[in-house]
Amino acid sequence: MNQQTGDRPLHICVEGPDDYRFFANVVCPRLEQRYALVRLVRYAEWKRSKLTSFLRHAAKMGDVIYAADINDAPCVTAKKQAIHRELGNAIAGAAIVVVVREIEGWYLAGLDQRTAKEIGGAALGAGSTDDVSKEKFEALQPRRFDLKVDFMMEILARFALDAGRARNASFRYFCAKYSL
């Protein structure tokens, strides 16, 4: 990725509210220094025709990042190919970022050991988060948080980029690719 983009905009397309919240708090602030505009959009409820039209237009104007969870795809390559086909080749495959397993893993990855203990237990800050699903995330959520979103916001307020890179391979790849 070009470090100096000048006056080009960046459009980041994410699936849902949890992805949006993560990118708005962790990713966008770090990329805003390099782009004239960073626009974050949620695409999950868009019709395919609207999404492909938007992506084609955005790609002509500037750079695009299209983020999606791997979910049940067998590998990152298969997920990228499926997205590429689904979108009718509206964007280059290189613009597609696959979150392994789900965005909740990226959230948990940003907890270092000290912060994890403060929030709710050493288990939150232990090991890789590559296999974290929504269900696993919710099972790890400390009881003091009534809502998942409150837990997520607490993590984002204390998010440690170095810990995130160390604990999640797809987040580490993303950070390297976009120089975060």
Q: Three-state SS string across the chain, please?
A: CCCCCCCCEEEEEECCHHHHHHHHHHHHHHHCCCCCEEEEEECCCCCHHHHHHHHHHHHHHCEEEEEEECCCCCCHHHHHHHHHHHCCCCCCHHHEEEECCCHHHHHHHCCCHHHHHHHCCHHHHCCCCCCCCHHHHHHHCCCCCCCHHHHHHHHHHCCCHHHHHHHCHHHHHHHHHCCC
pLDDT of residue 2: 44
Question: pLDDT tens per residue, the chain (180 residues)?
Answer: 445 566 899 999 999 999 999 999 999 999 998 999 999 999 999 999 999 999 999 999 999 999 999 988 999 999 999 999 999 889 888 899 999 999 999 999 999 999 999 998 778 888 999 999 999 999 999 999 999 999 999 999 999 999 999 999 999 999 999 999
Place of tokens 């590429």: 84
Distant-in-sequence, close-in-space partners of 55: CB < 8 Å, separation ≥ 6? 13, 64, 66, 87, 90, 91
Query: Which structure tokens are listed for 26?
Result: 């962790």
- What is the pLDDT, as a whole number, of residue 5? 61
Structure tokens at 107: 């959230």
Strand ranges across the sheet with 96-99:
37-42, 9-14, 63-69, 96-99
Query: Can you tell me which residue has the tokens 């965005």?
Result: 103
**pLDDT value of residue 140:** 93
What are the angstrom distances between the C-alpha of 10 and each of 97, 142, 152?
Answer: 14, 36, 25
Q: Which of 118, 115, 97, 138 shows the shortest CA–CA distance to 14? A: 97
CB 66 within 8 Å of CB 96: yes
